[in-house]
């Protein structure tokens, strides 16, 4: 439910992936205007209270997310319980309501976010056609992408041009 809500605001959303990082967000997304947005989902008050004991909660600079939210059923987490700058989302059967907007953590751990994204890309083994993304991004393919020309179309055009008299 949190991923769906965040998907309306962010162009990239990842959820519930475990990595070697100090923090494994339940949901994290990246939006052009807002930067990174993290959602921690808590079903019970005890889960919320144990989350507060984590190093990344005690030291906000160590955590991911420029904007951070807790998502819980109504009344599990109260506004007075929130750490500074955190937002609160309440989930009901069919909707998420914003109880408080997140105010931003410019001091976030950007390196942890990059490592998390890198881990996700390695797992995805993203490919463009039959080529790995890393290979496609090298050389002239960067320019092909900017012009909106697919590598296969450009290759076919070059081969066709070579056969012309």
The helix (run of H) or strand (run of E) holding residue 27 is strand 27-31
pLDDT for res 132 = 65
Q: What's 66-79 look like in SS3?
A: CEEEEEECCCCCCH
Q: Do 66 and 140 fall within a single domain?
A: no
Whole-model pTM: value is 0.72
Positive or negative CA dihedral for 72, 110, 115, 36?
Answer: positive
pLDDT for res 79 = 94
Whether 21 shows a pLDDT value over 70: the answer reads no
- C-beta of residue 45 within 8 angstroms of C-beta of residue 52: no
SS3 54: coil
Q: How do residues 65-122 score in pLDDT, each as one tens digit?
A: 999 999 999 999 999 999 989 999 999 988 999 999 999 888 888 888 888 888 777 7
Q: Do 82 and 34 fall within a single domain?
A: yes
Q: Do 102 and 140 fall within a single domain?
A: no
Cα distance between residue 35 and residue 31, in whole Å: 5
Whether 119 is in a domain gets the answer no
Cα distance between residue 30 and residue 65, in whole Å: 9
Q: How do residues 28-59 score in pLDDT, each as one tens digit?
A: 998 887 789 999 999 999 999 999 898 888 88
Whether 26 shows a pLDDT value over 60: the answer reads yes
* Angle 29-31-36 from CA coordinates, rounded to 5°: 50
Please count the CA atoms within 13 angstroms of the CA of 152 that sit on its side-chain side: 4
Q: How do residues 136-161 score in pLDDT, each as one tens digit?
A: 666 555 555 555 555 555 555 555 55
Q: Do 154 and 91 fall within a single domain?
A: no
Q: Do 37 and 92 fall within a single domain?
A: yes
Q: Do 104 and 146 fall within a single domain?
A: no
């Amino acid at each position: 439910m949190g991923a769906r809500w965040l998907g309306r605001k962010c162009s990239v959303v990842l959820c519930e992936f475990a990595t070697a990082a100090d923090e494994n967000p339940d949901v994290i997304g990246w939006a052009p205007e807002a930067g990174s947005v993290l959602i921690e989902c808590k079903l019970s008050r005890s889960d919320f209270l144990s989350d507060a004991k984590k190093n990344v909660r005690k030291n906000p600079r160590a955590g991911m997310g420029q904007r951070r939210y807790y998502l819980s059923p109504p009344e599990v987490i109260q506004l007075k319980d929130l750490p500074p700058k955190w937002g609160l989302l309440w989930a009901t059967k069919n909707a998420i309501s914003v109880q408080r907007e997140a105010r931003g953590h410019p001091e976030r751990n950007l390196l942890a976010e990059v490592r998390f994204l890198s881990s996700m890309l390695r797992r995805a083994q993203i490919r463009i056609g039959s080529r790995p993304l890393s290979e496609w991004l090298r050389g002239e393919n960067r320019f092909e992408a900017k012009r909106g020309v697919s590598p296969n179309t450009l290759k076919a055009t070059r081969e066709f041009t070579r056969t012309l008299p």
